[in-house]
Amino acid sequence: MNISIFGLGYVGCVSLGCLARNGHNVIGVDVSETKVKQINSGLPTIIEKDIDHIIREEHNRCRISATTDFDRAIKQTEVSIIAVGTPSSTTGHLNLEYIFKVAENFGHVLREKGRFHVIAIRSTVLPGTSEKFAEIVERVSGKKKNVDFAMVSNPEFLREGTAVYDYYNPPVTLIGSEHAEAADKVASLYKKLPAQVIITDVKVAELMKYVNNTFHALKVSFGNEVGNICSALGIDSHKVMEIFCADKVLNISPYYFKPGFAYGGSCLPKDLKGLQTLAHDHYVKTPLIESIDKTNELQISRAVEMIQQTKKRKLGFLGLSFKAGTDDLRNSPAVALIETLLGKGYEIAIYDKNVQLSQLTGTNKEYIDTHIPHLSRLMKAQISELMNESELIIVNNKEKEYVEILSNVEEEHPIIDMVRLPEDIRKKKNYKGINW
């Protein structure tokens, strides 16, 4: 099948490579000439396990390409996947400027295209967005939804750091559409995957990502509160949660039920805020959901207090991104923690090989230069440099590299652990976990 993908960020880049690997011809579309050049050079636009090999191999097979020309991409394909960003506004509502601009572009092109076209929205959007997208296309093109084109909601459930694995091993494939043939066509893209395909109403599909990620956010905060109580009582919080997670009938999934540091990333904070705003707009009181991000902020405050109690002033941070295996700094609790400590006058050094690499390749450089340029100046090129300069080590990511060096560090070198390092490190004299 000939497919175009609009947006070459995390979801777009992974979809581009994986669909091509499944035998499809895929054109990536992005306003960023840098991203387009990267794809056309056989390079990914993100730091993500295995995607570099996939992009290179499929580029060599001539199955993938990229362009800034949306007109050509739409006319040469039968299915278009929308994966552009939908960032939160300060009020929690989504900024849909980019996605509705794409809708206008589709309207202009479909006005001249005679063949039926399927538009699948993979971006995270609130219920009603697909309908509004279709209205814009109809207004600009003069064409009719479900006659000349059809809308499909196809939310993704990819975790950064394991996105390629998640693509090929999804918990479920969800498709929402009013048009049966369009739904079947999008479903056929995933026929080689093991997951159940669920075809449902459009608004149900649009809402599910928010429901899922709100529940995931809830699980992280719940696990942290249990961990903090256990810590105060001298009880092994991880043993408590291991037993809790042994119940697969009622407790569902063990993945997020792990006491530790605050959650972060582009999905959980944004989608939690989206669901809170949705409830508020409909005058529905949701006190538990409203309290989730407050618990997350308290976990960052707890880390600040732990660091202050050590009386150390020269701090070394292992990991800046919101979790291991990714360069994503959006809503990273490590960034929030470091910003707070800088304001209190601490001397800080940072080491994160993924962020360092993304600066060199340009994949995350714009975010760093725009939002946290002062932090980039604190980055160390070598982990040994950070270890030598720091009085206290704070571990934010569970990278193998960090585990190896901390396993051999002197016991007198204090460590504060946000991620539950292996037992041999936890036994060291000057080691302390955030809630165990």
Give the active site residues. 267
- Cβ-proximal residues to 385 (8 Å cutoff; 6+ apart), any chain: 349, 351
Q: How would you list the strands of the sheet with 314-318, edge to edge?
A: 347-351, 314-318, 392-395, 415-417, 431-433
Tokens found for residue 174:
């969800």
Q: Are 414 and 312 a contacting pair, CB within 8 Å? A: yes
What number of residues does the chain have? 436
Closest CA to 115 of 75, 71, 164, 152: 75
DSSP labels for 69-99? -HHHHHHT-SEEEE-----B-TTS-B--HHH
- Calculate the CA 43 to chain-centre distance: 20
CA 316 to chain centre: 25
CA geometry: angle at 130 spanning 277 and 273, to 5°?
20
SS3 222: helix
Integer CA distances (angstroms), 159 to 40, 48, 164, 238, 255, in order: 25, 10, 9, 23, 12
Q: Which residues of 271-293 are buried (b: 16+ CB within 10 A; e: fewer)?
A: bbbbbbbbeeeeeeeeeebeebb
Amino acid residing at 120: A
Only one residue has tokens 């944004």, namely 270
